[in-house]
Structure 1
Amino acid sequence: MRPVAPYLRGSTRRLAEEYDVALLDLDGVVYVGPDAVPGAPEALAAARAAGMRLAFVTNNAARPPHVVADHLTELGIAATASEVITSAQAAARYLGERLPGGARVLVVGTSGLEQALRERGLVPVSDATGQVDAVVQGYSPDLNWQMLAEGAVALNRGVLWVATNVDPTVPSPRGPLPGNGSLVAALRMATGREPVVTGKPDPTMHRESLLRSEANDPIVVGDRLDTDIEGANAVGCASLLVLSGVTSVRAAIEAPPKLRPSYLGSDVSALLVAHPEPRVVDGGAVCGAWQAGCTDVEGDAALILKQAAGAAASAGSDEAGAGDLDAWRALCAAAWAAFPDRGADGIRVHPDTDPGREAAGEVLGRLGLA
């Protein structure tokens, strides 16, 4: 894989032609709850037609790969079980490399973990009354007090504890709901123990994805900065942040270096376009028809957006409407250049006072920054 720096990159070719495999997060990227993200089935089919292979990578350990593949197919996204990579598989590989064959692993989760453990020659168990060699915990909508109690009993004996992820929330049509991290917190409080985390952003998950997808030059596509993007940066993999899940435009602008993506897009259709690289100039950055700069407003750092003189919208910049993505790219590039070693927490964003102020204000409004 090529080196990846924590600033926006450009690609004159469509990303589906630039990279061989898209490592796609599921929740918030491909679907939200039971429904596909609008346009995702068509965009992913077009990416395949362009020669890109797809791997569906999820921190959710609740369902076995074949169940996930069947769900994707029902949503109009052709998928096979071999293309689905779960945090349960990464956790099971981690345990399989450290425990003898036939070791008994207490499952605080559901069937996805049980199947993954059996594939590694381990024995899943559901209670702590007998021998338990390790505890593995993954997201399950059916997890209850009894499961947590059995986990606490085993953990108090000092056995290895592996969590498939510590995502605090999962997206849903009703908004964020408690994720595995919220459930892990219950056992952390009850036992004073800390788990080994093998899901994103830990490199264990990325290694599992590469082994199973056989990717040479992949790109991670995700909606979370602290799992998808941080995990990609940790292993030097290119990444595409999309807005179809939990992350906002502002969160990307304020991101510290380890959470900064390589590319920005509204959704997975961003795989089907070229991406302009913002030009970093003194005091700011230019992308397409927009220029952003970091300045001082009433004693505080602020980002100013204005129309770039003589510039035109970039090709493929209309995913989010009329060059809005170019404005977002310019704002991110300017903020990251002004704060190279830390995040731009709480930075204010304003339209410039020049004649283009109204247009800049409208763009900021659409981006949720006004």
Structure 2
Amino acid sequence: MTATGAAPVDGYDLVIFDLDGVIYLIDRPIPGAVEAVGRLRAGGTSLAYATNNASRRATEVADLLTGMGVPADADEVLTSAAAAAAVLAERLAPGTPVLVVGAEALRAEVRAVGLVPVAEADEKPAAVVQGYGPRVGWVDLAEAAVAVRAGAAWVATNTDRTLPSPRGPLPGNGSLVAALRTALDRDPDVVVGKPQPGLFSTAAARVGAARPLVVGDRLDTDIEGARRAGMDSLLVLTGVSTAADLLAASPAVRPSYVARDLGGLFDPAAVVRLPDVGGTDPARDTSVDPAGADGWRLTGDGDRPRLSGAGATLTALRTLCAAAWSGRSVQGVRPDGDAARTALRELGLPTD
């Protein structure tokens, strides 16, 4: 549970949600998401949605959410597509051609800021903007490569390697950026979306929030972006990042809290506050003792430490994080007893 016994949402004046892997998977709501958002709205908490997915405009995202039973307004939605178009508009004169690699939503955002979306390098674009689109193919990447080699600036909406789906992780925009990076032997000039803090800071500024909470499923985008923006964060285990990823997390991508799902926003027993090992925030609980924390003990040295005791599965994860983040190996941790075996299994960690 949290250090004070209170739910994380208490005391925050804005909750900023990632979408894919947090609210929905592709086009299916994640169990409990509709109820969680409805409860926040009923309580008067300001909401925002910040997504790296550049395949939908804000109005389309709002319509999708509303159709799932999550009423949303377009001005609550921030997309990497709109952010990328804004960056281009700051750098280029109106009417400048921009080669768009991505979905129609990205082309529409480029058009909306007064630039001209094109599809071929022969149209001499001043920039290439690359975002996720389910129909992006070799021809699109080839045109982008030619344009960048001819001097066009290269702007990526995001570099997420994967995106979550009901069938498991699928290639994201970062995988397509990697293909172009390999062909060009260089990185994009600008990456706009998370983990850059812009989407989060814009969301907070829109409503004048003083204490926002970011909720995401990815350590390398949502959580790192929150830390860069100076905001607390909650990692939910309904999308990309796993318990194993959390144990291996560097300080730059460690969340304030972890929960299985959005129920952790309200139920103190369904969330834990993670230690700020080696951190400088006096408000963060740093008192976790891996030798006997929250009913769990981690004993033994070397490559195969042992987890014993009993308690909530998430507090076992907190104990393991405290050890791992303090420099102690938890690789191949073995269960000592049925309770530990069950906890490790529920966390998706090896049990033998």
Q: Is residue 2:332 matched to residue 1:348?
A: yes
1:325 aligns with 2:314: yes
In the aligned structure 1, how far is the partner of 2:24 from the partner of 2:80? 17
Unaligned runs of 5+ in 2: 274-284
5 Å-filtered alignment, 1:202-217, equals 202-212=196-206, 214-217=208-211
Shift of 1:326: 2.1
Give the Å deviation of 1:279.
Answer: 6.1
Alignment of 1:208-357 (within 5 A): 208-212=202-206, 214-274=208-268, 277=273, 280=287, 283-284=290-291, 286-287=293-294, 290-293=295-298, 295-296=300-301, 299-300=302-303, 302=305, 304-307=307-310, 323-338=312-327, 347-352=331-336, 357=337
Unpaired runs of at least 5, structure 1:
1-7, 308-312, 314-322
| TM-fit CA distance, 1:359 | 2.0
Spell out the pairing of 1:28-177 with structure 2 (5 A cutoff): 28-177=21-170
- How big is the shift at 1:250? 1.8
TM-score (norm 1): 0.83
CA distance in 1, matches of 2:109, 2:334: 50
3-state SS of 1:16 partner: coil
Cα RMSD after superposing both structures: 2.3
CA contact (8 A) 2:214 2:234 kept: yes
Q: Residues 302 and 348 of structure 1 are in contact (CA less than 8 Å); yes or no, is this contact kept in structure 2?
A: yes
Conserved in 1, the CA contact under 8 Å of 2:12 and 2:213? yes
Q: Measure, in 1, the Cα distance between the counterparts of 2:154 and 2:217.
A: 27
Scaled by the length of structure 2, what TM-score is found?
A: 0.87
Between the aligned partners of 2:14 and 2:292, the Cα distance in structure 1 is 30
Code of the aligned partner of 1:95: L
Maintained 8 Å contact 1:295/1:304: no
Equivalent residue, structure 2, for 1:310: none
Q: Which residue of structure 1 aligns with residue 339 of structure 2?
A: 359
Cα distance in 2 for partners of 1:262, 1:153 equals 44
- Number of positions where the alignment pairs a residue of Structure 1 with one of Structure 2: 336
Once the two structures are superposed, residues 71-119 of structure 1 have per-residue CA deviations (whole angstroms, 9 ceiling, x without a partner) of: 1111111111111111112212222222233322111112221232234
Q: Report the identity percentage.
A: 48
| 1:284 CA displacement | 4.1
Give the aligned partner of residue 4 of structure 1.
none
